[in-house]
Amino acid sequence: MMNIHLIVLGKLREKYMSDFAADYEKRLSGYCRLTVTVLEPVKLSDNPSQQEIGNALSKEAAMIKAKIPKNSYVFSMCIEGKQMSSEEFSEKLGNIALDGKSTAVFIIGSSFGLSEEIKNLSDYKFSMSKMTFPHKLARIMLTEQLYRAFSISGNGKYHK
């Protein structure tokens, strides 16, 4: 059984979002071992400078790197990443397992994204859309797509 590790910056504070995420996390338990690590984003001023943003992203990068398991396949969730269909995503996850990686890590950054350092250490820069979504919604969308990908590979009815 594959290990999926989500590293996310920021909590789901709204109950309806937490419930929605919990539903997909429960569904995933039949397909993988899911771990969700929630990190607190660095606090910024109301109108941060580029330098303040850069410093915050560097601090967040250090927190993220400390949570990435060794010998993992790392996905950075970023708008400049590559997009895949649900079927392609399912195939990608299957190939990761075939290549001997037992853990796939997905990193969702804070509202200012991810540092270049994190993007560069990633095996794959992944974008779910050219559109920009709130990071909380991206987490729910990712867990749904993970569930869909495993359902596709298991010939389940969910994707039909």
Predicted local confidence at residue 1, as pLDDT: 87
CATH architecture assignment, domain 2-153: 3-Layer(aba) Sandwich (3.40)
The dihedral of CA 84, 90, 94, 97: what is its sign? positive
What is the per-residue pLDDT across 66-83, written as a single tens digit (0 to 9) for each?
Answer: 999 999 999 999 999 999
- Sequence-ordered list of residues with C-beta below 8 angstroms from that of 28, at least 6 positions apart, any chain: 4, 34, 143, 146, 147, 150
Average pLDDT along the chain: 94
Name the pLDDT band for 159 (thresholds 50, 70, 90).
low
| In the chain, % of residues over pLDDT 70 | 99
Whether the model clears a pTM of 0.85, i.e. scores above it, the answer is: yes
Q: Does 160 score more than 80 pLDDT?
A: no
